[in-house]
Amino acid sequence: MRINLALLKGDGIGPEIVDSACHVLDTVARRYSHDIAYTSLLAGGCAIDATGVPLPKETLDECLKSDSVLLGAVGGPKWDTLPGHLRPEKALLGVRKALGLYANIRPAKLYSALADRCPLRVVDDFDILIVRELTGGIYFGESGRRNGQYGEEAFDTECYSEKEIERIGRVAFEAAKKRNKKLTSIDKANVLESSRLWRETMHKLSHEYKEVEYADMLVDNAAMQLIKNPAQFDVIVTSNMFGDILSDEASQLTGSIGMLPSASLGESTRGMYEPIHGSAPDIAGKGIANPIATILSVAMMLRYSFSLEKEADCIENAVVKTLDQEYFTGDIGGKMTNNEITDKIIENL
């Protein structure tokens, strides 16, 4: 199989972790007789520096031509004072919207090798799949500033349509069918009208999936329950902002945010794959960034976009073996460099 992959290495540690993931992907591709063609593109802060905008038209056009997109990370303090429409994060929102990537899939699991490195004492192993709506909600609603009673005020609007909720709900129910047949929908229906529509739509949808155990949970309680007993969850579905926050919370239960991959998907097989962490400019260029989340994102790409299950398993099993051998980067209590742990994972493929 020939795969045309768009690379958005981005800012901070982005280039380092994407390079590591590509080394692993190239090794797997050679062993399974696949051909990977890469196109490196500008997005985020580096694109602002070079072109004045976070998402150049050339980048977006090439992403639309690609089979899938691999992203490192964007942003950093250097660009924090820019107006909202020029912030590096606008590149992510722009790619997601243009490619129609409305479903963000974020797995969070506790690897046995990292159980004693979790900042919290988690009693039971857990394996959670968080399904986050990605192109609606408060991040895409009307926003601005205006004169108010007490001076300048700012507003951001949460808005969801029944169609948007239904399509992300189907992704979550279908995922639950393939796992432990348990789905928890998280909202704030006691306060927000958008959440009340969310809950009503999810309830209607649940009648089509009677084999899936379905439950609602308020977001504040969900944040508490993730800490108290993460093993109670199988698949979680929630809105854009709630999903962003809760998946970062879940990452800390795994030992490090550097362990969590993600996939952004739409109606086609083309997706965007990225670690859930940021650009970590404080450690950029030091060679100590944890590449595992990006490497696992490549495994998700092989599985979700190209149905290459054996190749995806090969990468995931190599990561588990490397961790079981107690090879760790600094964020999970070890001393391995980015390149060293990448080499170990490649040895274990």
Single residue among 253, 288, 304 that ends a domain in this structure: 253
pLDDT in tens, the chain (349 residues): 999 999 999 999 999 999 999 999 999 999 999 999 999 999 999 999 999 999 999 999 999 999 999 999 999 999 999 988 899 999 998 999 899 999 999 999 988 888 877 767 665 789 999 999 999 999 989 999 999 999 999 999 999 999 999 999 999 999 999 999 999 999 999 999 999 999 999 999 999 999 999 999 999 999 999 999 999 999 999 999 999 999 989 888 887 888 999 999 999 999 999 998 999 999 999 999 999 999 999 999 999 999 999 999 999 999 999 999 999 999 988 999 999 999 999 999 9
User: Could you report the per-residue pLDDT of 97-115, keeping only the tens digit for each?
Assistant: 899 999 999 999 988 888 8
What pTM did the predictor assign? 0.90
Whether residue 213 lies inside any domain: the answer is yes
Whether residue 110 lies inside any domain: the answer is no
Please give the torsion angle defined by the CA atoms of residues 87, 54, 237 and 188, in that order, rounded to the nearest 10 degrees.
20
Query: Which residue is catalytic, options 19, 248, 321, 344?
Result: 248
Q: Does 100 lie in the same domain as 123?
A: no
CATH number at residue 33: 3.40.718.10
Q: How many whole angstroms separate alpha carbon 164 and alpha carbon 140?
A: 13
For tokens 């084999």, name the residue. 211
Does residue 188 carry a catalytic annotation? yes
Cα 204 to Cα 172, 186, 266: the distances in Å are 14, 15, 22
Does residue 210 carry a catalytic annotation? no
Q: Does 143 lie in the same domain as 187?
A: yes
Q: What are phi and psi of 80, to 5 degrees?
A: -65, -20
Q: Does 320 lie in the same domain as 241?
A: no
Q: How many whole angstroms separate alpha carbon 76 and alpha carbon 73?
A: 10
Helix (H, G, I), strand (E, B) or coil at 120: coil
Query: Which residue is catalytic, options 67, 234, 244, 331?
Result: 244
Q: How many whole angstroms separate alpha carbon 241 and alpha carbon 37?
A: 34
Query: Which residue is catalytic, options 139, 209, 304, 327?
Result: 139
Q: Does 286 lie in the same domain as 247?
A: no
The total number of structural domains in the chain stands at: 2
Q: Give the residue numbers spanning the domain of 195.
A: 119-253
Query: Which residue is catalytic, options 67, 188, 209, 331?
Result: 188
| CA 41 centroid distance within chain | 20
Q: Does 206 lie in the same domain as 291?
A: no
Q: Does 25 lie in the same domain as 76?
A: yes
Does residue 209 carry a catalytic annotation? no
Q: Does 216 lie in the same domain as 284?
A: no
Helix (H) or strand (E) holding 152: strand 151-156
- DSSP assignment of 13-42 equals THHHHHHHHHHHHHHHHHHTT-EEEEEE--
Residue 74 tokens, joined: 């964007």
Single residue among 201, 233, 253 that ends a domain in this structure: 253
Q: Does 136 lie in the same domain as 222?
A: yes
Q: How many whole angstroms separate alpha carbon 272 and alpha carbon 264?
A: 5
Does residue 220 carry a catalytic annotation? yes
Single residue among 219, 253, 287 that ends a domain in this structure: 253
